Chains A and B, each alone.
Chain A
Amino acid sequence: MRMTAPRRTLLGSAAMLAVSALALTGCSGGGAGDDTAAGGDGPEIVVWTDAEREQAIGDAAKAFEEETGATVRLVQKNFEDLRNDFIAQVPTGEGPDITVGAHDWLGALVAAGVVDTIDLGDTASNFEPVALEAMTYDGQLYALPYSLETVALVQNTALVGAEAPATWDDMIQRGLASGAERPFVINTAGETGDGYTMYGLQTSFGAPVFVQDASGSYTSEVGMGGAPGEAFAQWLSTNGQAGYLSTTIDYDINNELFASGKAPYTVQGPWAISSFDGIDVAVNPIPSAGGQTAAPFVGVQGFYLSAQSKNALLATEFLVNYLGTEDAQRALYEADPRIPAYTSLGQEVASDPIIAGFLASAQNGVPMPSIPEMGSVWDLWNAAEAQIISGAEPVSTWNQMITDLQSTLAG
């Protein structure tokens, strides 16, 4: 540097000035993340929820806040982020006390050591046994269940009446006869594939994703292989060629086609019913394609308690004695109409033919596996189905998927 030494060093940094000034304004001007929770003096329990259920949980929380003086802070997240964020943040002490979740996360949550058992005490008898079972891992209950969900055959009564088709072929015949653009539509999540929605048709060939032992618990033995699985793959291919299954269909397109009368039948869950406004629908069990009963996945949603909760008693109190009450369960049902896991409420809403249809489908169903291995299945399984529907060689693609899956599970 050939500069002459300056006689006086003046401020040499704009950035320093700016940044510290900003830091100051940020601190004073609310730029930092202040909690907007009502500043009660009592302890605070944090509940993670998704957008659909926020309101209903908030209503249940109001009574709780009044009676205990504690504060319930709701943090809204994307439903699919909940599991990973819960696993990542509970060990750091940043996690919530309670989170909404699906029962198939349970294996992963137990493996990560982030969930606590809960004791419903005498109130356990208020819930459907199947829901409690789904939330049970290794003989311990880990969540308060609140809804069952499953997919069923939804049909447009104006086009094909309300009668349930006997088989897949029967349904396709009726669909073709109805004169609609396509006889049937099912979501494959576009090119991604959607094993979940397709599962009822898969089980009608006798090819479950994992083998169940005598007690009904899932083992880690893949059950999709062998002749039944190959038959299902062949069937996917045949119907993909025929155009009855197509990877151009994603969730929105599926609902759009059904709602506009371009397809008389679809397989969907209760959450989609609201997008079928203006048409009369009937809900029936999924027809069998492979001769056996079509058994879709039954999922259970519920509330998990964090293993690192600093307010375990308070959180349990909120779960069992507030969210576990009929009023709160009804509010949750109204916010997000799924089949209630609360028995008396289930009976009450089963007078609705649509809910009754889904309930009938659920009774055919099997619980979605909650073993940690399930997490490794989805991507491979979905992709193989999408490829076969798009025209890949069915049997070899399917078997390759099973080989990959087994090697992934073996670690």
Chain B
Amino acid sequence: MTVTARGTGRDAARTTPAKKRRWLAEVGWKYPVAALIAFYALFPLVYVLSASLNPRGSLASSNALFSSVDVANYAALSGTSYWTWVGNTLFIGGVASVGAVLMGAAGAYAFSRFRFSGRRASLTGLLIVQMFPQALAFVAIFLMLLTIGEVVPALGINSKLALICVYLGGALGANTFLMYGFFNTIPIEIDESAKIDGATHAQIFWRLIMPLVTPILAVVALLAFIAAFGDYILARIILVSEDNWTLAVGMYQWVSNQLTSRWGLFAAGSVLASIPVLALFLSLQRYIVGGLTQGSVKG
């Protein structure tokens, strides 16, 4: 790792042996550890990258990394519906994460700032309700969307909107907790003083609180996006036709049927598919680090 070299080189050159020892004990050892962790994290992914560059790609046997470097698999992606699926996935993930953020923030604001009967029970209820295994409720989900679809076709089977709604159904339960603690860190005095100035609760929420909780909004957006991105089961049940599929559904059928296992294509698709998530993470990183669970830690 280049990091190690750079770090030690510059600091070590100008220090006395004693200082150097101390540096090694306190900071220096962290670079090799970082290299180890990075290896643990990256090894499988490097492996995918190698398989994606191998036109004969099968994940099972080619242990020789980068034995051939060929972009044929990437080129072949455009011969499939891959890019349509990318579009669908970004649309579904994007809308679902925006919706999750807004609902979660509104919910957390209510729990954090208002006192009402049943508040405690609702919090516990929210925590529990998200534990229902939706993976096995596919029959119920299918039949329910069928009923809705007869009346509102835009929310029936094979509609991306319906899938987003199902995701949002779990949004309140999954995200309220994350946000609730953070909202509690915003001093109530801010609300009080604004109220004295005649602000309504809506103004306080939009103009005061929301800007202050940006980090947690970014975190929830990221988590919701990743959840939608990686979901396979619900997407498979709800999205019937190929041009509505998400990446998970579409790419799985490249390899699920052993008679057509196109691992090279799958690997290339996976590599490209992780780019949007990474981009999102990088753009939100400064909010995220310092954002999570911030508030719930109390002195």
Contact = CB atoms under 8 A, between A and B. Distances in A.
Interface of A: 1-4, 6-15, 18-19, 22-23, 26-27, 31-33, 35-36, 50-52, 75-81, 88-89, 92, 94, 189, 250-253, 256-257, 271-272
B257 A33 contact: no
B145 to A, nearest CB: 10
Given A33-B158, A51-B253, A19 B99 contact: yes
Nearest to B196: A4
B116 A1 contact: yes
Contacts of A52: 259-260
A251 B258 CA distance: 7
B114 interface: yes
A52 B95 CA distance: 33
28 contacts: A2-B115, A3-B201, A7-B198, A8-B200, A14-B205, A19-B102, A22-B95, A27-B154, A27-B161, A31-B154, A32-B160, A33-B239, A35-B241, A36-B243, A50-B257, A51-B253, A75-B240, A75-B241, A76-B241, A79-B259, A88-B139, A88-B142, A92-B143, A94-B146, A250-B258, A252-B60, A256-B60, A271-B259
A14 B115 contact: no
Given A10-B203, A22-B95, A32 B153 contact: yes
A12 B59 CA distance: 52
B183 to A, nearest CB: 14
Contacts of B240: 33, 75
Nearest to A249: B60
B132 interface: no
The SS class assigned to the B binding surface is helix
Contacts of A33: 153-154, 156-162, 239-241, 244
Given A32-B159, A94-B157, A252-B58, A11 B253 contact: no
A80 B155 CA distance: 27
Given A6-B201, A78-B253, A92-B143, A256 B61 contact: yes
A35 to B, nearest CB: 8
Best-surrounded residue of B99, B114, B253 (most CB of chain A within 10 A) = B253
Interface of B: 58-61, 91, 95, 98-99, 102-103, 105-106, 114-116, 139, 142-143, 146, 153-162, 164, 168, 195, 198, 200-203, 205-206, 236, 239-244, 252-253, 256-261, 263
User: Which one of B58, B105, B114, B143 has the highest number of Cβ atoms from chain A below 10 Å of its Cβ?
Assistant: B58
A89 B77 CA distance: 31
B161 A78 contact: no
Contact of A80 (B162, B257, B263): B257
B263 A76 contact: no
Contacts of B160: 26, 31-33
B61 A252 contact: yes
B161 A31 contact: yes
